[in-house]
A and B are shown apart, each in its own frame.
Chain A
Amino acid sequence: MRKVIMGNHALSYGAMLGRAQVIAAYPITPQTQVVELLSEMCADKILDAKFIKVESEHSAMAACLGASLAGARTFTATSSQGLTLMHELLHWASGGRLPVVMGNINRAMAPGWSIWSDQNDSLSQRDTGWIQFYCSNNQEVLDTVIQAFKVSEKLLIPSMVILDAFTLSHTYEVVDVPKQAKVDKFLPPFKPEITVTPDDPHAFGGLTGPEHYFELRYKLQKDMEKAPALIEETGKEYEKMFGRYLGQVEEHCCDDAELILVTSGTMGSTARVAVDALREEGIKVGNLRIKVFRPFPFEKVRNIFKNAKKVAVIDRNISYGHHGMFFQEVKSAMYGHDHDLPIFGFITGLGGRDITPSTFREIAELSLEKNKPEEEIIWIGVNR
C-alpha cells in the first residue's frame, strides 16, 4: 500500500512490520512522532508489543537490552542528546551481542541547544560496535529497518538506522508500505539460541579477566566483518521480494566521473541533483552515497574509486582536532591502495545550516580547479 508519510513514521512502520515485541523509548525532538505512532499501534493492538515508557534514553536502551536478552525483538528510537546519554549501553548492546534495532534522528549536539541536523551524535558512536545505516529517503528508512532486524539477528550485532533531522524526519514522501504477510516471509521471528531463562540458567556479562576479554572482542570484530556480504545478500533477497535493493552504497554517475562526491544521508539526494546539472554542462562528476558507515564498505569504495581522478568527501560532522569523519574513513580505505588519488575533505552544514545543490557546485568547482587539497579541512558555508 502506498502512503504519504513522514520519515519518522517510516521508522514506526518499519518497526511495526518487523513485529518488534518490546519497544522502550523516551521523547526527544525531532524523534517524537516515531514513538507516538508506535504507542498508538500498541494501544490499538495493530502491533502486539510491550511499550515501556521509560524515564530516560539510558533506561530506554537498558530496557531493550533486558528484553533482547530474554529473546524478544526490540526497537527504540532517539536523537542527539538522547543517543549520547545511551552511549554506555551502546557498548553493552554490542558486547552482549544483543541485536537491538534503533532509529536515530541526526541532530546537532548542544551547547547551544540545537534541534537541527548534523551527524556528530551518531558518528561519535562509531566505535560502539553498532552497524550504522544512513538513509536518504523515507522508503529507504522503512526498508532499512526491516532489513536491519534480519542482519542484526543473524550476526547478533545491533543496528542503528539514521536519518536527518527535519529534512527527512519531518518530510512527507510517498512510501510503499509492504504487506505484513510478505514481510513475515522475509523476516522470520527472532529465535536466539541462548536467552536469559530459568530453563537454562547462565550468568551473562560477569567479571571477565584479561584471559577471556580479548577473544570476546575478537569474535565481535570477526562477525562485524561478515556484515558487508550479509548486507549485500539480504539486500538482494529484499529486492527479489519487494523490488528495492538496499546494499552498502549508492552510486550515481560514478563510472566515468573525474570527480566523485562522497555523501551520506539526505545530502546524497541533493548531491544527485547537483551532479545532474553539472553533467548537463559537460562536467564529469558523480556521487557516491555511503549507506552503511559501520562496518565501513572498504571494498565497494575502492572499486568505485578505481577510475576516479579525484574524490571530494562532504561531511556534516567534525572530529575536533582531526577531520570530518567520512573523510577520515575514505582516506583510510584508500591507504595502501591508491596513494595518489587526491581526496578533498569538506565540512558543511553543521547544526542544520542548509546544504543546497549550489553547495555541491561550489565543492565540485573547488576540487576540480586544484591538483590536490591544500588545506586539511575545506570549510563551506561558514562565515569567516
Chain B
Amino acid sequence: MSQEKKEKKMTLSLPEEELMGSGHRACQGCGAALAMRYALKALGEKTVLCIPACCWSVIDGPFPYSSLDVPIYHCAFETAAVSASGVKAGLEMVGDTETTVVAWAGDGGTFDIGIQALSGAAERNDDILYVCYDNEAYMNTGIQRSSATPYGAWTTTTPVKHFKNRPKKDMEAIMAAHRIPYIATASVGYPEDLFKKVKKAKDIEGTRFLHIYAPCPPGWRSRSEDTVKLSRMVVQNAIFPLYEIEWGEKYTLNIKLREKKPVDDYLRMQGRFRHLTEKEIAYIQEEVNRKWERLLSLMDRSN
C-alpha cells in the first residue's frame, strides 16, 4: 500500500451514523432494508415509526428485540397513516412537538388495504410523513399480487398463464389529487436523492408522501446483487421516474433523462417477467412512453 493512499480520507456521500443495526431479518439484497437505512440517516433519532403488517414487521426482529434505534409502533395493517396521525396528536398533547412521526408501509399496506386511512390523513393534511417502500407485491406472505404489481408480472396469484393484466395503480396521481404539500418518488438506486428527499420532507408541515422503489430478489426472481442496478435501471428507463410534486400542482423532475433506456434489459433481469413475449414487452414499452410523455407535460405545465 502506498503512503499516499493511506492518507486519503474516505468521502462518504451519506452520514456515517447508523440507526439501523445488523442482525435484522431481511433477505439477501433486500431493497426495503436499504430504504430504511437511508431514511433513518435523514430522519435522525427524533423519529417514531408506525409500521403496519409488511416485510418490515418481520425484518425489524421479533419481540423482545428490535434492530432499529428509533421507537416503532407495529400497528394494524390498514392503519399506518392514521396510527401516525394518532401518535403525532398524542405526542403533541404530552409536549413533544419536535418528533417526526413516520408511517412506514409496504405497497399492500399503501395501495390496497391502507389507502382509506391514507386518503383520510392526507385530506386532513395531518402532520405525518408517509413512506411506502414498494416491492410490487405481497412479499411477506409469499409473493401475491397487489395493486402495485406492474403489468406482466408473475406472482403466486398471477401465475404465468394468467399474469397480471392490469397496470400498476398510479399512487402519485392519487396523492396529488389530495393537494398535500409534498409528494416524491425515490429509489434505493439513488441513495443521495432519497436521503435529500427524506430530509426535505422531514421539515415540511402537513402530509408528506414518499414512494420508494425497493426491489425484492426472492419475489422478483432477481439476483440479490442486482438490487441496486435494477433500482437505477427502473429510473433510467422511466418505468419509475424520480420526481416531486408540491401541493398537487408543481412537478419537478429530479433525474433528467437525456435518452430514455429501453425497458427490455430491465425486464429480462427478473424471473417474474421471463414469460413475456416480444409483443408484450413492446406493449409495456408503449405504456411507459405514454406515461413518460404525460409526466413531461405535467412538468411543462407547472413551469
Direct contact of A and B (CB under 8 A): yes
Give chain A's interface residues, CB within 8 Å of chain B: 21-22, 24, 49-50, 52-56, 58-59, 62-72, 74, 88-89, 92, 195-198, 200-209, 212
A204 with B85: CB separation less than 8 A: no
Distance from A78 Cβ to chain B, minimum over Cβ atoms (Å): 15
**In the complex, chain A residues whose CB is within 8 Å of the CB of B79:** 58-59, 62, 89
B86 with A22: CB separation less than 8 A: yes
Contact of B72 with A by CB under 8 A: yes
A205 with B93: CB separation less than 8 A: no
A208 with B91: CB separation less than 8 A: no
Inter-chain pairs besides A68-B90, A70-B90, A204-B73, 8 sampled, C-beta below 8 Å = A66-B88, A69-B73, A72-B94, A204-B71, A206-B63, A206-B66, A206-B72, A206-B74
Q: Which 4 A-B pairs have the closest CB atoms?
A: A66-B86, A70-B90, A67-B90, A55-B120
**In the complex, chain A residues whose CB is within 8 Å of the CB of B78:** 58
**In the complex, chain B residues whose CB is within 8 Å of the CB of A56:** 116-117, 120
Contact of B47 with A by CB under 8 A: yes
**In the complex, chain B residues whose CB is within 8 Å of the CB of A54:** 82, 85, 120
Contact of B265 with A by CB under 8 A: no
A59 with B50: CB separation less than 8 A: no
Contact of B124 with A by CB under 8 A: yes
Sampled A-B contacts (17; CB under 8 Å): A22-B93, A24-B82, A50-B93, A62-B117, A63-B83, A65-B83, A65-B86, A66-B82, A67-B87, A67-B93, A68-B90, A69-B86, A70-B89, A198-B48, A198-B99, A206-B57, A212-B63
B63 with A201: CB separation less than 8 A: no
B99 with A197: CB separation less than 8 A: yes
Chain B 88-117 per-residue mask, 1 if CB under 8 angstroms from chain A, else 0: 111111101001000000000000000011
**In the complex, chain B residues whose CB is within 8 Å of the CB of A22:** 86, 89-90, 93
Distance from B66 Cβ to chain A, minimum over Cβ atoms (Å): 4
From known contacts A205-B74, A207-B58, infer whether A66 and B117 are also in contact, taking CB-CB under 8 Å. Answer: no
Q: Residue on A with the closest CB to B100?
A: A198
Contact of B70 with A by CB under 8 A: yes
Q: Residue on B with the closest CB to A50?
A: B89
**In the complex, chain A residues whose CB is within 8 Å of the CB of B94:** 21, 70-72, 195
Contact of B134 with A by CB under 8 A: no
Q: Residue on A with the closest CB to B98?
A: A198
B89 with A52: CB separation less than 8 A: yes
B73 with A66: CB separation less than 8 A: yes
Q: Residue on A with the closest CB to B64?
A: A212
Complex CA gap A207/B62 in Å reads 5
Chain B 120-131 per-residue mask, 1 if CB under 8 angstroms from chain A, else 0: 100110100000
Contact of B69 with A by CB under 8 A: yes
Of A53, A201, A209, which one neighbours B69 at CB under 8 angstroms?
A201
